[in-house]
Structure 1
Amino acid sequence: MAMESLTQLVVVLFVAAIVGVFSIIFVLTWVFYYKEGLAWDEGLAEFNWHPVLIVVGFIFLQGIAIVVYRLPWTWQCSKLMMKFIHAGLNLLAFIFAIISLVAVFDFHNAAKIPNMYSLHSWLGLVAVILYCLQLVVGVGMFLIPVTSVSWRAAFMPLHAYSGLLLFTSVIAVALMGITEKLIFGLSDPKYKDSPPEALFVNALGVLLVVFGALVLWIATRPSWKRPSDQPSNTPHTNGGGEDNSKVDLSMPGTDTGLDVRRRNNKSEDQTG
């Protein structure tokens, strides 16, 4: 990777991390300053775990899991280790999402509020179910050594696309949720009167959109892939079933056919 491109990657990663951390600070400030804080008492404080865990887990951790392969300081790590880190972050995000759902259902049941009546709740549950499916299939396909290289290669584009689609969908559902909470939760003054809480939470929504946009930008730039993920013209599979078809031709010790021909020609000139 060219030094200029590497510098750009590091800058965008840093900005994305800052925006993500500020999103977490904003959601914590919202629940502690404008709401009743956090507790597990079937009241509003228990409900507050929902936005906190969604932002921290389902958005921030999922975003980190998406770009973890592109962190320059991890490029010396083995691909298998990075797969475990990627899966572990996604699993943690899924656990946070499940806990956040339990908090919502507990609060609704205690307050005699109907469950699953809003579009936000429908799409949110669908996102959690699909995320679980994505996690299970991803682990089965890429971490358990039972699938062939050809199967993994064929499934990878779908896995990457569905991951980005779910990440984008979760942010969209979160924006629906915080807007819904402001509309129902603010009465005097109302949401339409733009009280400080409404403006503050709107700013949180903007931060989530910016974080999502930066993660998508990082994840979709071909020039920012791990060096070992760059394709070569000499694919082969070793005896252990590992796919070595992706080799960085710019790495030391990697020979191309052109290099071999040049050395052969040089040897012939010296012996002739």
Structure 2
Amino acid sequence: MDDSAPRSVRSTFSWLVGASQVLGLVSVVLTGVWMGHYRGGFAWNGSVQEFNLHPLCMVLGLVFLHGDAILVYRVFRNEKKRNVKVLHGVIHLLAIIISIVGFAAVFDFHRAAKIPDMYSLHSWCGMATFILFCLQWGMGLLFFLFPGASPWLRASYLPIHVFCGLLLLVMAIGSCLLGITEKLLFSIMPAYSQFVPEGVLANTLGILLVCFGVLLGYLITREEYRRPPNPEEESLSVHFNTFTEGSWRDDIPFTRLTSS
């Protein structure tokens, strides 16, 4: 946080960020415990143990790492914007790679077990989330990391990019909740209503994922936790307002409007 911010705001922010990391890490650990202890562990041989990599990779990649990639703009609010952009993109790339491993695991298991692919609501939502996640990452590279997009174009796309980032986090958590329910119904349906330990653990995992998403959403949307505008961002805002409000001035050189 900025040193000029009130001490209470900085303290609250630090506690909330810490809580979000605890929730995210515990969610990943609980997924590993569920798949490792109750579902037989992990392997890469086409067996059900290979499938167990799927939920672990999805929770780690599309939820925890995705949430942290969004959060870096709040945690490193006083670092150079370029460095934070690179970190944001790298964490998202890592999330994509881990997610690809998770998708490969489930498709390989389905192929070995002769199970149809992409028939459930969970699979539809999960695949849509992943495809949009990759598109979001690619668009972010084009607009914000590579010097191709003009300032007014970046300024107009920025609110969409921020909204889609939060939307994808919601979609990822929703897909995980569908997957948790589907896995429990397939695995322990007769005993699920008897509050068996595996069912309680999986339900707890779902609650933690929801709490993680809610806390991330709170941290991202609170005005006092926003990154203070730097000259680059203020320039983007001025250029965007100039174009949208129709206040074009002939005395502003074109090179000044298009420089980043």
Report the equivalent of 1:194.
195
One of 140, 144, 147 as aligned partner of 1:145: 147
**Separation in 2, partners of 1:183, 1:222:** 42
Q: Is the 8 A contact 1:30 1:201 kept in 2?
A: yes
Report the equivalent of 1:19.
23
Q: Is the 8 A contact 1:108 1:115 kept in 2?
A: yes
Structure 1 residues 129 and 17: alpha-carbon distance in aligned structure 2, compared to 1, 3 A threshold: same
Report the equivalent of 2:51.
47
Whether 1:226 and 2:227 are equivalent positions in the alignment is yes
Report the equivalent of 1:110.
112
**AA at the equivalent of 2:69:** A
Structure 1 residues 110 and 89: alpha-carbon distance in aligned structure 2, compared to 1, 3 A threshold: same
**CA RMSD after TM alignment:** 2.0
Alignment of 1:206-217 (within 5 A): 206-217=207-218
Report the equivalent of 1:9.
13
TM-score by structure 1 length? 0.83
**Separation in 2, partners of 1:142, 1:235:** 17
Q: Return the offset for 1:194.
A: 2.2
**AA at the equivalent of 1:148:** S
**Separation in 2, partners of 1:106, 1:65:** 29
Whether 1:84 and 2:86 are equivalent positions in the alignment is yes
Q: Is the 8 A contact 2:77 2:226 kept in 1?
A: no
Q: Is the 8 A contact 1:9 1:224 kept in 2?
A: yes
**Separation in 2, partners of 1:38, 1:203:** 22
CA deviations over 1:193-216 (Å, ceiling 9, x no partner): 221100111001111000111111
Q: Secondary structure at the match of 1:54?
A: helix
**Separation in 2, partners of 1:62, 1:199:** 26
Q: Is the 8 A contact 2:150 2:258 kept in 1?
A: no
**Separation in 1, partners of 2:90, 2:146:** 14
Q: Is the 8 A contact 2:71 2:220 kept in 1?
A: yes
Task: Indicate the percent of aligned positions where both proteins have the same amino acid.
Answer: 40
CA deviations over 1:26-50 (Å, ceiling 9, x no partner): 1111111101111101111100110
Report the equivalent of 1:245.
none
Report the equivalent of 1:61.
65
**AA at the equivalent of 2:153:** W
Q: Is the 8 A contact 2:151 2:257 kept in 1?
A: no
Q: Is the 8 A contact 2:40 2:49 kept in 1?
A: yes
CA deviations over 1:68-101 (Å, ceiling 9, x no partner): 1111xx2342100100000111111111111111
One of 221, 232, 241 as aligned partner of 2:259: 241
Q: Return the offset for 1:8.
A: 1.2
Task: Work out the number of aligned pairs and report it.
Answer: 239
Q: Return the offset for 1:154.
A: 0.5
**Separation in 1, partners of 2:234, 2:91:** 30
TM-score by structure 2 length? 0.87
Q: Return the offset for 1:238.
A: 6.7
Q: Is the 8 A contact 1:183 1:190 kept in 2?
A: no
Q: Secondary structure at the match of 1:227?
A: coil
Q: Secondary structure at the match of 1:45?
A: helix
Q: Return the offset for 1:190.
A: 2.4
Structure 1 residues 26 and 229: alpha-carbon distance in aligned structure 2, compared to 1, 3 A threshold: farther
Alignment of 1:150-161 (within 5 A): 150-161=152-163
Select between 75-84 and 174-183 the one with higher mean Cα deviation: 75-84
Structure 1 residues 4 and 131: alpha-carbon distance in aligned structure 2, compared to 1, 3 A threshold: same
**Separation in 1, partners of 2:20, 2:178:** 22
> If you compute each CA radius of gyration, which structure gives the higher value, 1 or 2?
1
Q: Secondary structure at the match of 1:139?
A: helix
Q: Which structure 1 residue ranges, 4+ long, deviate > 3 Å from structure 2?
A: 228-240
Structure 1 residues 64 and 40: alpha-carbon distance in aligned structure 2, compared to 1, 3 A threshold: same
**Separation in 1, partners of 2:257, 2:145:** 17
